[in-house]
């Protein structure tokens, strides 16, 4: 909160982490007794707070006293102190510095300070504004509230109001709740609401629940009720259970899941016994307990999950428990999975383990090959194994992959392995491995993966390697090489394409280059296509128009209208019809009328007219009745 109110850009992570806690300190030590109030649920670690405060000259967190030699702070000093605190490399120093700033503000005339700062704050950002307002609100909430509302409308006023509500919510959250409607920014309002509810939950959870459910702010995707019950269940589990039973709708869902998570975190076995007493419709709550239980004792959670009577829910929670178990002891979890008698359940568990980011991939791969039945589930699991395996050790994954027989599985898994391998390994070595793969999709897809990346990194070496390939391999790789190289320099690919003697290779290279070129310089790419031979121009024009129309449809259309009629122009027109039709179906039909091929022209116009009828039947049918479409086409459309 403090980081937002101070409005200090690009602050280090440590500043962001501690600023929120310091704001709590700034608004928490209320009253003449100087007592520090820090809610248990949001307090930082005791060792850091105690050590920092003791080094600052105080005996403990609960009895913090301002040192008698504390001096007031001026506005200039406040700004300088906040700016200087950002440079502290250690959290402890940062924390101590801000405690000193807060104490100095407490012995300063903050009412006078904020009045003097208001004029400059309304013109721009002042790093000390939010903190000064919070301390002012701590000392005199009513005066701070009136002052904030007396300011000119704008960002500064809203920040002042937010600061006051933030301060008051620490000591009087119920009162802060009544002030929330003055905060215009919905994000700020949700933050303050959540803060007030959490603060009130520490003292009066029933009151907090009443306020939370009475406000519309807690509806939708807001997690305020869930946060409230997360606090409540730790303080009074029975009271939280009783309150949950009285709720309905989304509030009941939030409360129930938070309740079950909290119970499972403190005593999972007792939480599970309680979950079993709930009606059968509460199966998702039982899953919540199992998932939370899996974090601390996955084997015990797994045993409980296997007892769930719901056949649809059981595999999900069992898989979750095994996944957590695999994170702790991969080999032990794998041996359990191998021993599962139900083949469908065993497949699900293998699938979960394949998504694990750690563990022995070779051991898992061997087990899957031996114990998992074939099918789509098997294919997907093996692909997951190789995907994560390639990130960890691509050369090892490649060696295992090469042992698979030629298949769809190999063809789908190979490119992902090669993709990871090319980023880390020797390109010549990888290409040599790829060329040893049997002919087919796996080899072709892997060649594409190698050359698309290699040419983007080092096009000259990729070109040299391309020249050493056999004719079939070269045909597979050349389009990918042009694609990768075009991301760096489409003009260079255009020049290189002129040296290619094979017409299909040249056409592929030009297509890839123009596609990339059109994204950065569509007009230049369009002019280039005008110089191409008719058999090369069609796909190139199509690529240019598709890219250009997204950025400037009018310019693309004007250029296209000047091109000579023929198959190339027909193809380009067809590529943009759907884009034009979204905003102007009649204009799209005019473009379709320029298609030189009669069969294609009538087909496109009929499809566009049908879509137009769905949008505006009256206008579309009027156009159809006066169009030059063939009579039989007009009759079909009329029906």
State how far the Cα of 49 lies from the Cα of 64, in Å rounded to an integer: 11
Read off the pLDDT of each residue in 206-216 and give the average, rounded to a whole number.
75
pLDDT of residue 12: 29
Quick one: pLDDT band at residue 460, thresholds 50, 70, 90?
A: very high
Quick one: pLDDT band at residue 481, thresholds 50, 70, 90?
A: very high
pLDDT of residue 43 exceeding 80: no
For 287, how many CA atoms within 13 A lie in the half-sphere containing its CB? Answer: 16
Read off the pLDDT of each residue in 228-247 and give the average, rounded to a whole number.
88
Are 230 and 262 spatial neighbours (Cβ–Cβ below 8 Å)?
A: yes
pLDDT of residue 45 exceeding 70: no
pLDDT of residue 44: 32
Quick one: pLDDT band at residue 63, thresholds 50, 70, 90?
A: very low
Higher pLDDT among residues 312 and 290, named by residue: 290
Write out pLDDT tens, residues 574-623.
888 877 888 788 888 888 888 999 999 999 898 998 889 888 888 888 89
pLDDT of residue 61 exceeding 80: no
pLDDT of residue 40 exceeding 50: no
Packing angle, helices 237-245 and 249-266, rounded to 10: 160
Read off the pLDDT of each residue in 211-240 and give the average, rounded to a whole number.
76
Only one residue has tokens 């760096």, namely: 488
Nearest to 160 by CA among 144, 138, 142: 144
Are 380 and 372 spatial neighbours (Cβ–Cβ below 8 Å)?
A: no
Give the contacts of 331 (CB within 8 A, at least 6 positions apart). Answer: 359, 360, 363
- What integer best gives the mean pLDDT of the chain? 78
pLDDT of residue 496: 92
Strands, DSSP E only, in 574-632?
none
Read off the pLDDT of each residue in 326-332 and give the average, rounded to a whole number.
86
Quick one: pLDDT band at residue 16, thresholds 50, 70, 90?
A: very low
Quick one: pLDDT band at residue 125, thresholds 50, 70, 90?
A: low
State how far the Cα of 459 lies from the Cα of 384, in Å rounded to an integer: 31
pLDDT of residue 454: 92
Quick one: pLDDT band at residue 222, thresholds 50, 70, 90?
A: low
Read off the pLDDT of each residue in 78-105 and give the average, rounded to a whole number.
73
Give the contacts of 222 (CB within 8 A, at least 6 positions apart). Answer: 190, 193, 194
Read off the pLDDT of each residue in 150-176 and give the average, rounded to a whole number.
76
Quick one: pLDDT band at residue 92, thresholds 50, 70, 90?
A: low
Mark 150-167 as b/e (b = at least 16 C-beta within 10 Å). ebeeeebbbbbbbbbbbb
Quick one: pLDDT band at residue 60, thresholds 50, 70, 90?
A: very low
Read off the pLDDT of each residue in 234-251 and give the average, rounded to a whole number.
87
Read off the pLDDT of each residue in 415-433 and give the average, rounded to a whole number.
88
Are 138 and 107 spatial neighbours (Cβ–Cβ below 8 Å)?
A: no
Are 390 and 417 spatial neighbours (Cβ–Cβ below 8 Å)?
A: yes
Quick one: pLDDT band at residue 357, thresholds 50, 70, 90?
A: low
Name the percent of the chain lying above pLDDT 70: 84
Write out pLDDT tens, residues 295-317.
888 888 888 888 777 776 777 78
Distance of CA 365 to the CA centre of its chain: 31
For 202-209, the CB contacts below 8 A with 24+ separation are 202/39, 202/40, 202/41, 202/231, 202/235, 205/231, 205/232, 205/235, 205/236, 205/239, 205/240, 205/243, 206/239, 206/243, 207/174, 208/173, 209/243
Only one residue has tokens 């009629």, namely: 565
Quick one: pLDDT band at residue 122, thresholds 50, 70, 90?
A: low
State how far the Cα of 106 lies from the Cα of 140, in Å rounded to an integer: 11
- pTM of the prediction? 0.50
- The answer to which of 164-173, 403-412, 545-554 has the lowest mean pLDDT is 164-173
Strands, DSSP E only, in 210-360?
none
Are 3 and 15 spatial neighbours (Cβ–Cβ below 8 Å)?
A: yes
Only one residue has tokens 């269940």, namely: 233
């Amino acid at each position: 909160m403090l980081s937002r109110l101070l409005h200090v850009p690009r602050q280090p992570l440590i500043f962001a982490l501690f600023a929120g806690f310091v704001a709590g300190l700034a608004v928490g030590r209320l009253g003449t007794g100087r007592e520090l109030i820090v809610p248990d649920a949001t307090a930082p670690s005791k060792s850091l707070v105690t050590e920092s405060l003791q080094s600052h000259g105080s005996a403990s967190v609960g009895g913090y006293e301002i040192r008698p030699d504390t001096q007031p702070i001026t506005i200039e000093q406040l700004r300088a102190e906040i700016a200087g605190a950002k440079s502290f490399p250690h959290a402890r120093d940062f924390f101590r510095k801000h405690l000193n700033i807060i104490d100095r503000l407490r012995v300063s005339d903050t009412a006078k300070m904020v009045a003097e700062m208001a004029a400059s704050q309304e013109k721009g950002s002042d790093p000390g504004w939010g903190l000064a307002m919070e301390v002012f609100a701590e000392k005199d909430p009513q005066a701070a509230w009136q002052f904030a509302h007396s300011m000119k409308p704008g960002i500064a006023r809203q920040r002042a109001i937010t600061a006051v509500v933030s301060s008051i919510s620490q000591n009087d959250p119920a009162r802060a709740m009544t002030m929330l409607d003055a905060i215009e920014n919905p994000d700020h309002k949700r933050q303050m609401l959540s803060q007030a509810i959490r603060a009130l939950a520490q003292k009066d959870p029933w009151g907090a629940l009443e306020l939370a459910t009475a406000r519309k702010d807690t509806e939708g995707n807001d997690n305020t009720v869930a946060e409230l019950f997360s606090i409540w269940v730790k303080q009074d589990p029975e009271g939280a259970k009783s309150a949950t039973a009285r709720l309905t709708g989304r509030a009941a869902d939030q409360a129930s899941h938070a309740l079950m998570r909290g119970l499972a975190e403190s005593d999972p076995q007792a939480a599970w016994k309680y979950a079993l007493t709930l009606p059968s419709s509460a199966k998702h709550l039982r899953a919540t307990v199992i998932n939370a239980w899996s974090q601390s004792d996955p084997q015990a959670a797994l045993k409980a999950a296997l007892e769930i009577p719901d056949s649809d829910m059981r595999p999900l929670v069992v898989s979750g428990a095994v996944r957590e178990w695999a994170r702790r002891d991969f080999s032990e979890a794998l041996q359990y999975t191998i021993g599962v008698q139900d083949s469908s359940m065993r497949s699900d568990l293998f699938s979960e383990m394949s998504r694990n980011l750690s563990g022995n991939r070779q051991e898992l791969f061997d087990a899957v090959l031996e114990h998992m039945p074939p099918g789509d589930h098997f294919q997907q699991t093996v692909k997951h194994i190789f995907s994560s395996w390639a990130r960890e050790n691509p050369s090892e994954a490649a060696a295992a992959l090469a042992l698979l027989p030629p298949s769809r599985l190999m063809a789908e898994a190979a490119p992902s392995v090669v993709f990871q391998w090319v980023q880390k390994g020797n390109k010549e070595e990888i290409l040599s491995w790829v060329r040893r793969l049997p002919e087919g999709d796996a080899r072709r897809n892997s060649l594409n993966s190698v050359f698309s990346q290699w040419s983007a990194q080092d096009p000259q070496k990729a070109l040299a390697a391309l020249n050493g390939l056999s004719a079939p391999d070269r045909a597979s790789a050349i389009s990918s090489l042009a694609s990768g190289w075009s991301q760096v320099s489409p003009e260079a690919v255009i020049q290189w394409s002129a040296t290619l003697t094979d017409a299909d290779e040249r056409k592929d290279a030009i297509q890839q280059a123009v596609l990339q070129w059109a994204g950065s310089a569509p007009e230049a790419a369009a002019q280039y296509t005008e110089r191409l031979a008719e058999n090369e121009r069609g796909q190139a024009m199509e690529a240019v128009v598709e890219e250009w129309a997204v950025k400037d449809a009018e310019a693309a259309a004007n250029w296209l209208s000047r091109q000579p009629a023929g198959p190339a122009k027909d193809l380009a027109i067809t590529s943009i019809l759907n884009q034009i039709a979204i905003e102007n179906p009649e204009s799209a039909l005019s473009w379709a009328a320029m298609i030189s091929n009669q069969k294609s022209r009538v087909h496109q116009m009929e499809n566009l007219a049908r879509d137009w009828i769905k949008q505006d039947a009256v206008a579309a049918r009027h156009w159809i009745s006066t169009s030059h479409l063939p009579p039989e086409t007009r009759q079909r459309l009329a029906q």
